Amino acid sequence: MRVKVARRRPPATCPLVKPLALVTCALLGACAGTGEGLDLDGRPLKPDAGGDAGAAAGEDGGSDGGARDAGVVDERTRFVWIQRNILTETCAVYCHRGASAPKGLQLEASKAYDKLVGVPSVEVPGLMRVKPGAPFDSYLYVKIVPTDARRVGERMPLDEPPYLSAEKIEAVRGWIARGAPKD
């Protein structure tokens, strides 16, 4: 004699549930962002109504409404900090050093500034490696942010994650936005 086992039927679902769930996930993922337009503390940058005059005069120009001391530049947006904590520590130690540096981009302390600032990118000649005052038009920034359609090849640093932290990416952006001074 055979015994019939009652099977549960799956609940009836709307045929649009799965596609709507996928679209919702995609839209939420798109909202994550790259941190563009945010200062080192994650707050939105205020537009500079006076152009670059404030930066040239040495004013803070930060997004905190002047709460920081006027004339004081965040140490993380100085080239010496960028060189020590990013270029030397991450880039030059592994690949970008000596005559065999990729694309001739030597990032040792004695050569990095002159190889970066005002020099056309080899991969995307329409962009400068660093265009002073224009981080979003600087190929160095394009290469380190999570997504940018203009990037050719891999995101830097190569053979990662972890890639540069949000703090370090923001430091590069801030330095370039300040005019990429050699300070």
Supply 17's token pair: 């549930």
> Is the model's pLDDT at 65 over the cut of 50?
no
Q: Is 121 exposed, middle or buried (0-12, 13-18, 19+ CB in 10 A)?
A: buried
* pLDDT tens profile 10-48: 555 556 556 555 555 444 444 445 555 555 555 555 544
Is residue 175, in this structure, part of any structural domain at all?
yes
Place of tokens 């798109």: 30
Q: Would you say residue 148 has pLDDT above 50?
A: yes
- As a whole number of angstroms, the distance between CA 141 and CA 136 comes to 7
Domain assignment present for residue 151? The answer is yes
**pLDDT reported for residue 72:** 81
Q: In whole angstroms, give the CA distance from residue 86 to residue 82.
A: 5
Q: How many domains does the chain have?
A: 1
Quick check: is 97 in a domain? yes
Ranking 21-35, 111-125, 143-157, 167-181 by mean pLDDT, the lowest is 21-35
pTM for the full predicted model: 0.62
User: When comparing pLDDT for 78 and 29, which is higher?
Assistant: 78
- Span 89-113, mean pLDDT? 91
Least confident of 18-22, 27-31, 63-67, 125-129: 63-67
pLDDT, position 64:
37
Residue written as token pair 């065999």:
100
Mean pLDDT computed over 55-70: 39
Residue 146 lies in a domain: yes
Residue 183 counted as domain residue: yes
Q: Looking at the predicted structure, is the pLDDT value of residue 140 above 90? A: yes
The pLDDT value given to residue 161: 74
Phi-psi region of 22 (alpha: psi -120 to 50; beta: other; left: phi over 0): alpha
What does pLDDT average to over the chain? 76
For 163, the domain range is 93-183
Instruction: Give the confidence band of 92 by pLDDT, cuts at 50, 70, 90.
Output: confident
Q: Would you say residue 137 has pLDDT above 90?
A: yes
